[in-house]
A and B are shown apart, each in its own frame.
Chain A
């Protein structure tokens, strides 16, 4: 469902992602781990077509994101670490807009919106303007919007930051249900316990290079130890040395705009 073939991305003369090869099948939950500035967000933005690979090809559901971006994006939902919501729309209006955006038929859209409101417990605030939402309310609305059109690929960047335990539980259940439905979940996170608990496979990236990829047992073998994911992660990333921070795209906009 997701294929990255020899993908390299450079910012000026600095490599952010270096010859990344990855294939993730349908219905798989893939956790993408790495230290700050390792190239996770850059990879995610290439998956969504926001950034172009300097070298290599990205395919989503068989569509090359560079040449058939619109078809690929029709099958993706992307939840960034700081999601965007129209402040002057209510939660329900946001969901209606997303349904129209993905060309959902009227009846189906209405049914799915009701389902999402129920699933994420949006009843109490779905008709308020989103500018009044707390972080947790925003995050639940964003997930409702992301899952509304039943995407084939769900790309999630740091979904649990700032959420209370109940919301994290809800999120974990939702992600599991998505994979059961057959969707591919690409989860970028620093939360190693969530990655260990949920994912089928784990990829570890540092300094732009994928240094480990497989099930937890396979990573343990690679690290030559039997600890939990945290210990495996620390050993594997330690061998590579500390990463040189690479700004994400929004950061680099600000960087290059200054003097």
Chain B
């Protein structure tokens, strides 16, 4: 019991300093990694540091997030019937993961159609109250594109393998992708929810030449603030009366009896 009281005192000290501790989106001392498969027509096995980690990983699949120790991981993709990672179809590549960060590793096509892998860092910084984050990533064998939200260009001339992002009022947006400077969608429109305290990430993947462009989406939690207090009463009607000084009781009773609730309501803020 004494321990818990001390913990409370410590927390109160934080409040006194005016700092409400944030809630971190990544576990203390760890890194988060998601893996997205964005190469059409190729089911693979994923080896991490030589060990089979994802079996029969299919195009459009999203794995994770995995909570990992910080460090550099070697990732190789093989045919799905391979016995080991000695003959990878992609990689091995090194993924350096730093503590407290969120990543998505994407196996995808370059603009010219060759397969590659890109390690994206997901922005998990805190969003403003009422806002969420939208990130768009071009991982398709296609030229530069414009990304539309609710009928207007939100991100223009996005090229493979780049990303753009914005914090928007939390809502569901009708998203579409056109070739840069054009208006006919090559992808979408699709409803994409953007929620407070999260980063919704939209990928264009596949190949324009092969006619298999597609959208993939994921969402990761951002850091958030936490309330420093809960002030949950306005009238004193549910108070413990027994230990209140006599004067307070008399005053309170007099106020209730003489003024009445309706009058008190006028006096009370909110």
Q: Do A and B come from one complex?
A: no
